[in-house]
Structure 1
Amino acid sequence: MSATEPSSKHPFAPPPEGVVAADVSRALAEDLGDGDATAALLPDVADEAYLLCKEDAVVCGRPWFDACHRALDPAVRIDWRVAEGDRVAAGTVLATLHGRARALVSAERASLNFLQTLSGTATAVAKHVDAVRGTGARILDTRKTLPGLRIAQKYAVRVGGGVNHRIGLYDAVMLKENHVRALGSVAAAIRAARAARPNLPLIVEVETLDQLREALAEGCDRILIDDFDAPTRREAVRIARAAPFAGTIPLEVSGGVDLDGLRAIAADGVDCISIGALTKHVRAIDLSLKLGPAPRVARH
């Protein structure tokens, strides 16, 4: 299986090859500059290395890892022992590499930066997905991503089992407080959005139950109930599920969501929960790439 092909076990779409190439080009340029002064001290001979995961994680970022190493050594052989999206235990050897010693060392940091960051995102998402399993609620990301890595992080969200919200400001219309204030009402804002961009999905944020009723009556693709307390949230679900609306428009919760309270929110019957922390509060997974043969005691 190539680095960009999803396994049958994890049927998520691969990242765009052009995005991976551009990300890797920037990363290598900022790290290598006009050349790796330290790697030049090594003999330029064939060598091997192994990639070790030091904590439990969901693996994500293989395409970026591979591209970093192949950019410096097109003949490098990377033998992955795990698939993209696999859950692995601490101590797992993820892959072995065979290539030129200087290239292996020069690509090390950039390749690990991608893999540890994207694995960190996927691992966090998987924990949130696990927390709501069986409720019917979906975990969504937001636009609170690391600058320049939005497509990569949103790919990692999918690998972790989450669902992408809008990618940017261009692929959906999202009406918020300022739009409603400027246009006079939720209904007026919805009509203006439909007239201006009829082919884009329309998401409407509401702050009160009256605004919720207005959005339901006017129609849209999803309603965001932002910062509702638990009783108001449950009443919002009741209203949206009752006639004449009968659950035709999904409800999304955002704001003040953490892992501890996630199950209770999902159990109220909402359809989606969007969480900015999935991509904003990234904690990288502890990985290392070491020259030499992989230790036999490591799990794989």
Structure 2
Amino acid sequence: MDQDFKVKLLEFVKLALIEDVGEGDHTSLSTIGKSKGGEAKLLAKEDGLIAGVDVALEIFNCIDSSLQLEVFIKDGSRVVYGDIILIVRGNIHSILKAERLVLNVMQRMSGIATRTATYVDLLKETNAKVLDTRKTTPLLRFLEKQAVKIGGGENHRFGLYDMILIKDNHVDYAGGISSAINNATIYKKDFGIDIPIEVEVRNFEELNEVLACEGVDRVMFDNFIPEDVKKAVKLVKGRLVTEASGGITLDTIKDYALAGVDYISVGALTHSVKSLDLSLKAKLI
């Protein structure tokens, strides 16, 4: 876990606890003695790929550093119903304070990792790689993109600041592909910004216009059918990194990969994923 990720995580935990705990967990405070100890097992309630174990450890530690954790299944591992992922032991109030946050995070991350792995598995015999998008939950993007990586996918740009991605609206507002690219290259030079430029194209006319310009690093074929992607890749001739995007599903992703594209971006990795069912079962000690 790199330092930037950890800083984001600690801030997230702080805000999440303010939202959830507020002035206090009155249910636990009113029913259980403050000094009582216990343990809880984190269990898989369905088959899938686990993600967020390292994050859960940080959450538990942030809430109560005296909690003892025993991990049995690491991030990126397959689980089946009934598997014990980890056991936490210590103050019951601390365990219960962490319970929902840990479950919410791990269930969402594991659902994303599981779905990503399904897409990745379909591309094993190809050179294409699966990318995520910015179609993420606000303020949870760092966790969701981490889950994509755990599932075997790769991250596209994190936000609006680490890549110039010229999409259809930018093209239309700028007055065309060439104008948008020219403006972007001048902007990079004027401000000394060293980030790549990618351009989304909707047809072969726009692709040819991109190929006539300098300064572009990657081209995205938006809503092209696989046959047209194959033609487009041949036109590019390795001059640019290629990416296919737009409505690509489990049924069609391999056809896009076999068309020779370098990357395939799939918004469904994060925007409509089903969480993996997990539970935390308590036991007095």
TM score, norm. by length of structure 2? 0.92
Match for residue 177 of structure 1 among 146, 168, 175: 168
> 5+ residue gaps in structure 1?
5-12, 242-246, 294-300
CA contact under 8 A between 1:20 and 1:63: conserved in structure 2?
no
Q: How does 1:247-266 map to 2 (within 5 A)?
A: 247-266=238-257
Deviation at 1:230, TM superposition (A): 3.0
- In structure 2, how many angstroms separate the alpha carbons of the residues matched to 1:148 and 1:52? 27
Give me the whole-angstrom Cα distance separating, in 1, the residues matched to 2:186 and 2:129: 30
1: CA distance, partners of 2:125 / 2:269: 20
3-state SS of paired residue (1:49): strand
Determine if the alignment matches structure 1 residue 206 to structure 2 residue 196: no
Residues 237-286 of structure 1 deviation map (CA, whole Å, 9 limit, x = unaligned):
22123xxxxx1212111111111111111111111111111111121110
Q: Which 10-residue stretch deviates more, 126-135 or 56-65?
A: 56-65
Alignment partner of 2:278 out of 287, 292, 296: 287
Q: Is the 8 A contact 1:80 1:94 kept in 2?
A: yes
The one of 226, 229, 239 aligned to 1:230: 226
SS in 1 for 2:38: strand
How far the C-alpha of 1:122 sits from its partner, in A, is 1.1
Which residue in 1 is equivalent to 2:89?
98
Deviations 1:136-178 (A, max 9, x none): 1111111110011011111111111111111111111011222
Structure 2 partner of 1:221: 217
User: Deviation at 1:180?
Assistant: 2.1
Partners of 2:201 and 2:156 lie apart in 1 by 17
2:75 to 79, 84, 96: 84
Q: How far has the Cα of 1:22 moved from its partner?
A: 1.0
1:14, CA displacement in angstroms? 8.0
Matches within 5 A, 1:138-153: 138-153=129-144
Deviation of 1:15 (Å)? 6.6
Check if 1:240 corresponds to 2:236: yes
User: Which residue in 1 is equivalent to 2:107?
Assistant: 116
For the residue of structure 1 that corresponds to 2:179, the secondary structure is helix
Deviation track 1:63-91 (CA, whole Å, cap 9, x = no partner) reads 33223322332100111111122222222
Q: Equivalent residue for 1:131?
A: 122
Cα contact 2:48–2:78 (8 A) shared by 1:
yes
| Residue 10 of structure 2 corresponds to residue 27 of structure 1 | no
In the aligned structure 2, how far is the partner of 1:259 from the partner of 1:164? Answer: 19
Instruction: Measure the CA separation in 1 of the matches of 2:56 and 2:226.
Output: 43
Deviations 1:194-235 (A, max 9, x none): 110242110101111121122123241110110112332221
Match of 1:50 among 41, 54, 75: 41
Tell whether 2:187 aligns with 1:196.
yes
Deviation at 1:34, TM superposition (A): 0.6
Asked if structure 1 preserves the Cα contact closer than 8 Å seen for 2:218 and 2:241, the reply is yes
Q: Which runs of 5+ in 2 are unaligned?
A: none
2 CA distance for matches of 1:47 and 1:232? Answer: 60
The separation in 2 between residues aligned to 1:172 and 1:284, in whole angstroms, is: 29
Whether contact under 8 Å (2:41, 2:282) holds in the other structure is yes
Change (3 A) 1:85 1:15: farther
CA RMSD of aligned residues (A): 1.7
2:154 corresponds in structure 1 to: 163
The separation in 2 between residues aligned to 1:24 and 1:103, in whole angstroms, is 14
Percent identity of the aligned residues? 38
Alpha-carbon separation, structure 2, partners of 1:142 and 1:269: 20
| Structure 2 residue aligned with 1:10 | none
TM-score by length of 1: 0.88
2 CA distance for matches of 1:185 and 1:18?
40
Equivalent residues of 2:227, 2:259 under 8 A apart: no
Is 1:39 the counterpart of 2:28? The answer is: yes
Aligned to 1:8: none
Distance 1:66 1:210 in 2: 52
